[in-house]
Structure 1
Amino acid sequence: MATHHVMQTTFMDGAKMLADATRLVILAIAISFGAESQAASLNVVGGQLLGASDVIVDGSLYDVEFLGGTCIALFNGCDDVSDFMFQYQAAAISASQALLDQVFLDGASGNFDSLPQLSLGCSDSSVCHVLTPHGFTVSNPGIIDTSDVRNLASLTPGNDTILMKDNVVTLDLATSTNFTYAVWSRPVPEPSTALLMGFGLTGLSWAGRRRNRS
């Protein structure tokens, strides 16, 4: 009888821990999902747009910096497609569209749609081209394929476009007045989300071991 009571208590304790751990995992997922549903956070210093964080591209979060320089200097030598965050044309186009939809906007932080010269790397008041590399021209590995956001100085919605553009890997965009690179990266998960996920998964594992022993 006592043994039966101990087994029943152990089972109930294990079930409670399993339920608690499951709630932690669900909470962590909810926090993560909530972060992905937020608007991009613009990185603005002195009125100039340097980039953005938490840009949603095809359902995932990315950070982006606008930088001048050569492809070789900015993209780990620029000699292999793995040097690029987006390695297919369709993915690079999605990233460019995300810039138009979430970053190059007029708002309280600045008029980054109608005033393209406010983006880092662009001083031309008429247009700013922001290049996202995704591959190499088959006939010439010294030429990269890019998705080009053409951010025009216009108050008319829809005038900005996305073009496909080739670029020489050694060309230094730091000397250009209307071209810059978009350097993308994956953000580090927030500590709170990572901790919750870790605690939840650990709890699930421990509860499973307790149940197996009983």
Structure 2
Amino acid sequence: MTTLFREFFLLTLLLFCSASIAAPVFQIDGNGILTGATGVDVGGTLFDVEFVDGDCVSLFDGCDSSDDFVFKEIGPAEEASKSLLEEVFVGVFDDDQTLTRGCETSSFFGCVIITPYKINPADSNFVFVNIANNRSNLSVDSFIGSSNLITFDTALFGDYTYARWSQVTTVPLPPAFYLWLTGLISLFAGYRPKKINKSIA
């Protein structure tokens, strides 16, 4: 019984560890274009992201308040751009920047992914952004802070797109967890402690 319980305990650890380090799930349309990803780890918190074309006003609820953005300071916005480059733009999506929605045109700058995070307090016509540059694997990817007009429309350019983020509210448990739970319940339901006869010499 002790050995069996130990095996179930180790299995539990493996399941939860694998769930916590699971890679993002890529969202790919019927043409093989990357449209976003779910479960992107940004500073230890999971977020979903979608790549969308348009301007900040139309995409971010008017783009007139920092409350319109998930990330509100430069630090988290930088972490988000870094996570895109390390977790999402990998493999074929790192090798070929034109496979990302909004970046169908190849350019020297690569695919420019914009994460807005704060309205410029000195001029509300501008928004502070962090930019991830996903270039081919022959170049060095990078991220940098900048300031854009809130009316800057990525639909007019073939190598720019916005990253629209949302925080993951719940993390679904892996299906194997339910199998484990069923097995554990069955194990203890059928467990009967051994009767030990004590004899006094």
Q: TM-score, normalised by structure 2?
A: 0.73
User: In the alignment, is the contact (CA less than 8 A) between 1:84 and 1:133 conserved in 2?
Assistant: yes
Q: Which whole-Å CA distance do the structure 1 matches of 2:156 and 2:19 have between them? A: 37
Amino acid at match of 1:63: D
Q: Which whole-Å CA distance do the structure 2 matches of 1:43 and 1:65 have between them? A: 8
Structure 2, unpaired ranges of 5+: 1-11, 179-201
Larger mean CA deviation between 48-57 and 130-139 belongs to: 130-139
**Pair 1:36-2:20 in alignment:** yes
Counterpart of 2:152 (choices 164, 171, 177) is 171
**Which digits, 9 at most, give the CA deviation of each residue in 1:169-197, with x for residues without a partner?**
1122112111110000012414659xx9x
Does the C-alpha gap of structure 1 residues 50 and 30 become closer, same or farther in structure 2, counting only changes over 3 Å?
same
**Pair 1:184-2:169 in alignment:** no
Counterpart of 1:95 (choices 80, 89, 97) is 80
Q: Which whole-Å CA distance do the structure 2 matches of 1:123 and 1:192 have between them? A: 36
Amino acid at match of 1:122: C
**Pair 1:84-2:69 in alignment:** yes
Does the C-alpha gap of structure 1 residues 144 and 30 become closer, same or farther in structure 2, counting only changes over 3 Å?
farther
Q: Which whole-Å CA distance do the structure 1 matches of 2:16 and 2:161 have between them? A: 31
**Pair 1:129-2:112 in alignment:** yes
Q: TM-score, normalised by structure 1?
A: 0.69
Q: Which whole-Å CA distance do the structure 1 matches of 2:58 and 2:80 have between them? A: 21
Amino acid at match of 2:55: T
Q: Which whole-Å CA distance do the structure 2 matches of 1:151 and 1:118 have between them? A: 11
Amino acid at match of 2:156: T
**Which digits, 9 at most, give the CA deviation of each residue in 1:56-90, with x for residues without a partner?**
00101000000001111111111100110000000
Counterpart of 1:119 (choices 81, 100, 106) is 100
Does the C-alpha gap of structure 1 residues 125 and 79 become closer, same or farther in structure 2, counting only changes over 3 Å?
same
Pick 1 or 2: higher relative contact order, CA cutoff 8 A, min separation 6.
Answer: 1
RMSD over aligned Cα atoms: 2.1
**Pair 1:140-2:123 in alignment:** yes
**Pair 1:154-2:98 in alignment:** no
Q: Which whole-Å CA distance do the structure 2 matches of 1:104 and 1:125 have between them? A: 15
Identity of aligned residues (%): 34
Larger mean CA deviation between 64-73 and 184-193 belongs to: 184-193
User: In the alignment, is the contact (CA less than 8 A) between 1:36 and 1:59 conserved in 2?
Assistant: no
Q: Which whole-Å CA distance do the structure 2 matches of 1:40 and 1:191 have between them? A: 13
Q: Which whole-Å CA distance do the structure 2 matches of 1:83 and 1:33 have between them? A: 33
**Pair 1:48-2:33 in alignment:** yes
Amino acid at match of 1:134: Y
**Pair 1:64-2:64 in alignment:** no
Matched pairs, number? 161
Amino acid at match of 2:165: W
Q: CA deviation at 1:154?
A: 3.3
Q: Which whole-Å CA distance do the structure 1 matches of 2:142 and 2:42 have between them? A: 17
